[in-house]
Structure 1
Amino acid sequence: MSTSGFRTEEIVEAYAAMHRCVQGYADSGDWTPFAEHFTPDATYVEHAFGTFRGREEIRAWSVRTMTSFPGSVMTGFPLAWQVVDADAARLVCEVRNLMPDPGDGSRHEESNLTIMTYAGDGLFSREEDVYNPMRFARMTLRWAEVARAHGRLSAEGEAYVAQYGAMLGPRVTPSA
């Protein structure tokens, strides 16, 4: 038994169960239950959007972010790898954020490192997502450029390009 009181297998199984649910939320578009994977007093640190405390803040952020562009377009979040420090009750993994085929068969994705702190009973007390927001935004804009060329960019995607395209470089610009 580790000093945290949790076995590596328990932490891995809890995260795998959560991760299966996350794919279901992406498939259905309903992110409301996401916060239930956390303790009532959990902390979620998201480097681009801020720190959220408690299930209701986590729920509001996840629903708002994942039901609007580009979150609403993402098709999956497979793990590239994971490691567990049972003594610290932590699981660290690389999550791949996948965009759908924009129309030409190209693949667009950006990864983040996620640090999960396990609290027992299948729940987590903390999540921290570490990534470069500029790289993620540039990937999203590249995807939008290809999707637009193939008639697959939504009005919400066009609004995203209009808001962020000029700020991030000349490659993707709002449509006329």
Structure 2
Amino acid sequence: MTGTTYSRAELVEAFAGFEATVAAAAETRNWDPWVDQYTDDVTYVEHAAGTMHGREQVRPWIWNTMENFPGSYMTSFPSLWTVVDESTSRVLCELDNPMRDPGDGTIISATNISIVTYAGDGKWCRQEDVYNPLRFVAATVKWCRKAEELGTLPDEAAAWMTTYGRRS
């Protein structure tokens, strides 16, 4: 909690800015502006990766996650719905994580719940991502199998499948 509450209008506006910055990062593959939206002392809770403290601990994690398969094949992170809670300065949302078209127009994705806490001045002091990692693995395996079927499976995805997705 920030100790300060913000109006619904300010939270909605700030979250729209957050989403626009994340969309631009996904488009350009430059993840720094995304990370720069957090306060220097942000707490980022990512249940599969652990809790990170500080923007400069979050930055290499986001770059590594988004520039390596399967994150490197996620094309955008649009919110499917949002809830604004003025009393806690939080925005809760379900984010979609669609992957690139494997070659036939198929859309394969997984979702997560994100809870972001606003700190004012366009900065966020906390983010928590809640999801089932096995759903992301299942979506990635499905994508890889479709790409393999279509003859479009890239080497990095084939390597990922060797480690995480092959049936015995």
Taking structure 1 as the reference length, what is the TM-score of the superposition? 0.90
Aligned residues: 166
CA offset at residue 11 of structure 1? 1.1
Amino acid at match of 1:164: Y
Structure 2, unpaired ranges of 5+: none
| 1:111 equivalent in structure 2 | 111
Matched, 1:16 2:16: yes
Amino acid at match of 1:42: V
CA offset at residue 87 of structure 1? 0.9
Q: Percent identity?
A: 45
Confirm or deny: 8 A CA contact 2:81 2:93 kept in the other structure.
yes
CA offset at residue 4 of structure 1? 3.3
Structure 1, unpaired ranges of 5+: none
| 1:154 equivalent in structure 2 | 154
Q: SS where residue 88 of structure 1 aligns? A: coil
Amino acid at match of 2:103: G
Confirm or deny: 8 A CA contact 1:26 1:72 kept in the other structure.
no
Matched, 1:126 2:126: yes
CA distance in 1, matches of 2:35, 2:77: 17
Equivalent positions of 1:1-176 (< 5 A) are 4-166=4-166, 170=167
Q: SS where residue 74 of structure 2 aligns? A: coil
Amino acid at match of 2:90: R
Runs of 4+ in 1 over 2 A off after TM superposition: none
Confirm or deny: 8 A CA contact 1:81 1:93 kept in the other structure.
yes
Q: SS where residue 4 of structure 1 aligns? A: coil
Confirm or deny: 8 A CA contact 1:35 1:58 kept in the other structure.
yes
Taking structure 2 as the reference length, what is the TM-score of the superposition? 0.94
Cα RMSD, aligned residues only: 1.4
